[in-house]
Amino acid sequence: MNTSELIKRQGDHHNLICYRKAELLFDMTYHFVHTAFVKGDRTIDQMVQAARSGKQNIVEGNAAIETSLEMGIKLLNVAKASFQELLSDYEDYLRVNDFRQWETTSKEYMAMRELGVKGDNAHILTIAKSRPLDTVANMAIILLKQEDYLLHQLLKSLSNRFVKEGGFKERMYRVRMQEREAKGK
């Protein structure tokens, strides 16, 4: 390992599928809360903040990975937790308003699941803005479950990388020892 390998350039967060889905979830949530709730309702701020926290922690976690896999993993886990909070908010909305939450075997669920995998953000957001609030909540729930899966897979991959490569201090130590050995000290 040489010094050029010490800090590993991380890719642009915009290229992460989980970031693009997080951006869609933020936009959908912003639209949803400003349509579903009366101005001044704390739920608006809570749900927008959970969506924002999820998105922004992906950005921050991705940047932190360059020097600290451990910090990147922690921040991505915060993103995952924020999205779980948001998922609970959408489920609560359906429950307290006596709306049906789509069953995993329903045609609506299956269609949205496929759209969440293959559709682009602008198209999905356009659809969401034209549907009743219970449909939007169900759409968001499915996207949040997909986001949870994507973040879980990313965390698993980064954890495996951490096991193989170690943390930043370990890499610094290896580079320093290699430099000493190369100079014969």
- Under the banding of pLDDT at 50, 70 and 90, the label for residue 76 is very high
For residue 3, is pLDDT > 60? Answer: no
Q: What is the CA radius of gyration of the chain?
A: 20
Query: Which residue in the block uniquely carries the two structure tokens 């349509």?
Result: 35
Q: How far lies 156's CA from each of 15, 16, 76, 112, in Å?
A: 18, 15, 11, 26
- Under the banding of pLDDT at 50, 70 and 90, the label for residue 115 is very high
| pTM (predicted TM-score) | 0.88
Q: Is 176 helix (H, G, I), strand (E, B) or coil?
A: helix
Q: How far lies 106's CA from each of 4, 37, 65, 113, in Å?
A: 52, 27, 39, 11
